[in-house]
A and B are shown apart, each in its own frame.
Chain A
Amino acid sequence: MTTETLRRPPPGSADPAGSGRNRPRYRRHRPGIAYLFLSPWVLGALLLTLGPMLASLYLSFTDYDLFTTPNWVGLENYRKLFTDDPRFLASAKVTATYVLISVPLKLAAALAVAMLLNNARRGQGFYRSAFYAPSLLGTGVAIALAWRALFTDDGVVDSLTGQVGWDTGGWINEPDYAIYVLIILAIWQFGAPMVIFLAGLKQVPQELYDAAAVDGSGRWRTFRSVTLPMLSPIILFNLVLETIHAFQAFTPAFIVSGGRGGPSNSTLFYTLYLYERGFSQFRMGYASAMAWILLLTVAAITALFFGTSRRWVFYAGENK
């Protein structure tokens, strides 16, 4: 205790504003304690993250089946995936469709409702929470079961669409429509990005809107020239997170299709097929190759978002 006090610089020399320049330096001398705090993290990072990442990369070049020693097969898994596995290609197509349709629509709904709520004079807190509720419940099995029942043949939605003369022949049993059942479920959970948009809208300075009004800008023009650019960092954030999220969707597809990805592979999500290969057929090497393709795809898309963001993301205080 006394040594610590002695190591400190005399009180007069301490930085009065506390901005950090003349901060006590003892922390520098005790890196051991930092690693003590970090020890659970270090174990997790090595044993459960970094190690497994490298192991799965290795396994993706083998025929590992969980029970016997893996044999090196080179690029065979990857070759088979792309040239000799129609189910894989179907799952990639289903997932791409799901991501491409659900993410933009979900974000559009989130932004639209956030803008509506942002004008609230009263009750904003209540509405915000109420719109958020589906985001919380929607990821569970219970809602997926409800969805399956709502969209089944002659179920509530089928009856309603039938009454307005739109006969789909059932939703979850029609290959052309089944994926939309899951897309609608995803869009229904727009509450989470909405709350983030709402927080972002509060940061837009009122002066900008006043200036736009003085210039005689209409609503659309104000939206294009003020709201969108000011929100663009948050749009990027939501876009990245929702895309990563959508690529990994599993529970709804598993429950709605009874774990099979049907009808005719129309709801065979990428993760569903990965699960089937790995944990039903124990083709762990093959599933590892699929996991790495997923990782590379997600990384490439994230990099693309960040790479192009310079052109469309506007950071306040930046010189144009």
Chain B
Amino acid sequence: MTTHTATVSTGRRLRGLGWHVLIIAMLLLLLYPIAWLLTASVKPTDEILSSLDLLPTRFVPENYSTALDGVAGISVWRFFGNSVIVAVGAVLGNLISCSLAAYAFARLRFRLRGPLFAFTLLTIMLPYHVVLIPQYTIFQKLDLVGTFVPLILPKLLATDAFFIFLMVQFIRGLPRELDDAAEIDGCGPVLTFRYVILPLLKPALVTTTIFTFIWTWNDFFSQLVYLNDPETYTLPLALRLFIDQTSESAFGPMFAMSVLSIVPVVLFFLAFQRYLVEGIATSGLKG
């Protein structure tokens, strides 16, 4: 009897061990490109493409100082600052406008609520390219192409329907009694929103912040379309400019700059990975 249990548990432990070995092997393979990018950023340029070794033969931290010098006479910090302005603007825009709209859709009554909310859900599936050209024309007529306005204003006007949907779902899960109690205390919708809903909405607001920040930080397409002066370039555009100008001769500094550009995403990821992963699991957001 005892020997039997012993074999069973040894077998189970071995299977558990095998499971961990399998998963870790998969992870190593999966994370290899990221590790490669990190070590490439401190390799001598001639070693980057050809060498199969992950570790450099010679450690070249100067890649980073070259990268920090930037491109076209503009420091990397400038690009960094531009990316921060765009990302923070987008985050604030989404937080304010989407929470306002979500409260109206989830709690207030008005005649067009059904059709308008259905329209919001449909726009989640709408390819950006369909609205891009007229939007571009509008911003061009207003002389705003080349500024950050076309990148931030749409967020302030709640065009990121996914976050409205996320917040509506969340508000619907909050007990109605709270609203009623606030009303008994004399709060109208504005005060109820401010003092009851908004504090409770925090988890959804955190998810919105993280995803808006990371998506905007990684975004390339709309920044490519709207920004045309290197002084206003964000990091993704600066990276591309860097390849064009150095014509691939400076791989080391280019990867150093790449690493710098993903640092905020990695930090956000490490700091919030619990919320982040749970946010996707519960709301169906994507990376």
Neighbouring B residues of A133 by C-beta, 8 Å: 31, 34, 269
Count residues of B near A (Cβ-Cβ below 8 Å). 101
In the complex the two chains form, is A52's CB within 8 Å of B134's CB? yes
In the complex the two chains form, is B33's CB within 8 Å of A140's CB? no
CB distance from A289 to the nearest CB of B (A): 10
User: Could you list 26 A-B pairs, sorted by A, with CB under 8 Å?
Assistant: A1-B186, A18-B180, A27-B109, A33-B189, A34-B109, A35-B110, A37-B189, A38-B105, A41-B164, A56-B130, A56-B131, A59-B133, A59-B134, A128-B277, A129-B269, A129-B273, A136-B265, A136-B287, A139-B287, A189-B287, A250-B221, A251-B220, A274-B129, A284-B137, A291-B133, A294-B129
Neighbouring B residues of A24 by C-beta, 8 Å: 180, 183
Asked if A86 CB lies within 8 Å of chain B CBs, one says no
Asked if A169 CB lies within 8 Å of chain B CBs, one says no
CB distance from B253 to the nearest CB of A (A): 12
Give which listed residue, B33, B127, B130, contacts A188 with CB less than 8 A: B33
In the complex the two chains form, is B176's CB within 8 Å of A18's CB? yes
Neighbouring A residues of B125 by C-beta, 8 Å: 240, 244, 298-299, 302
Asked if A121 CB lies within 8 Å of chain B CBs, one says yes
Neighbouring B residues of A287 by C-beta, 8 Å: 129, 133
In the complex the two chains form, is A140's CB within 8 Å of B217's CB? yes
Neighbouring B residues of A150 by C-beta, 8 Å: 33, 36
Q: Which of B151-205 contact A (CB under 8 A)?
A: 154, 156-159, 164, 175-177, 180, 183-184, 186, 188-190, 193
Q: How far is the CA of A284 from the CA of B134 in the complex (A)?
A: 9
In the complex the two chains form, is A295's CB within 8 Å of B188's CB? no
**Number of A-B contacts defined by CB within 8 Å:** 298
Give which listed residue, A40, A55, A155, A251, contacts B101 with CB less than 8 A: A40
Q: Which of A216-261 contact B (CB under 8 A)?
A: 237, 240-242, 244-245, 247-248, 250-251, 254-255, 258
In the complex the two chains form, is A140's CB within 8 Å of B265's CB? yes
Neighbouring B residues of A146 by C-beta, 8 Å: 33-34, 36-37, 40, 255, 258
In the complex the two chains form, is B130's CB within 8 Å of A196's CB? no
Q: Which of B6-60 contact A (CB under 8 A)?
A: 16, 19-20, 22-23, 26-27, 30-31, 33-34, 36-37, 40, 48-50, 52
Asked if B108 CB lies within 8 Å of chain A CBs, one says yes
Q: How far is the CA of A84 from the CA of B133 in the complex (A)?
A: 23
Q: How far is the CA of A152 from the CA of B36 in the complex (A)?
A: 14
Q: Which of A120-134 contact B (CB under 8 A)?
A: 120-121, 123, 125, 127-134
Asked if B227 CB lies within 8 Å of chain A CBs, one says no
Binds A, one of B68-76, B84-92, B278-286: B278-286
Binds B, one of A43-51, A72-80, A309-317: A43-51
Neighbouring B residues of A116 by C-beta, 8 Å: 19, 22-23
Q: Which of A155-171 contact B (CB under 8 A)?
A: 155-156, 159-160
CB distance from B270 to the nearest CB of A (A): 9
- Interface of B toward A, CB cutoff 8 Å: 16, 19-20, 22-23, 26-27, 30-31, 33-34, 36-37, 40, 48-50, 52, 96-97, 100-101, 103-105, 107-111, 113, 116, 119-120, 123, 125-138, 140, 154, 156-159, 164, 175-177, 180, 183-184, 186, 188-190, 193, 214-215, 217-218, 220-221, 224-225, 235-236, 239-240, 243, 251, 254-255, 258-259, 261-262, 265-266, 269, 273-274, 276-277, 280-282, 284-287
Which residue from chain B places its CB closest to the CB of A138 in the assembled complex?
Answer: B287
Which residue from chain B places its CB closest to the CB of A147 in the assembled complex?
Answer: B33
Neighbouring A residues of B126 by C-beta, 8 Å: 49, 53, 295
In the complex the two chains form, is A140's CB within 8 Å of B261's CB? yes
Q: How far is the CA of A149 from the CA of B180 in the complex (A)?
A: 60
Neighbouring B residues of A298 by C-beta, 8 Å: 125, 127
CB distance from A255 to the nearest CB of B (A): 7
Which residue from chain B places its CB closest to the CB of A127 in the assembled complex?
Answer: B23
Neighbouring B residues of A56 by C-beta, 8 Å: 130-134
CB distance from A54 to the nearest CB of B (A): 8
Q: How far is the CA of A45 from the CA of B97 in the complex (A)?
A: 12
CB distance from A131 to the nearest CB of B (A): 7
Asked if A154 CB lies within 8 Å of chain B CBs, one says yes
Asked if A142 CB lies within 8 Å of chain B CBs, one says yes
CB distance from A92 to the nearest CB of B (A): 14
In the complex the two chains form, is B23's CB within 8 Å of A291's CB? no
In the complex the two chains form, is A145's CB within 8 Å of B254's CB? yes
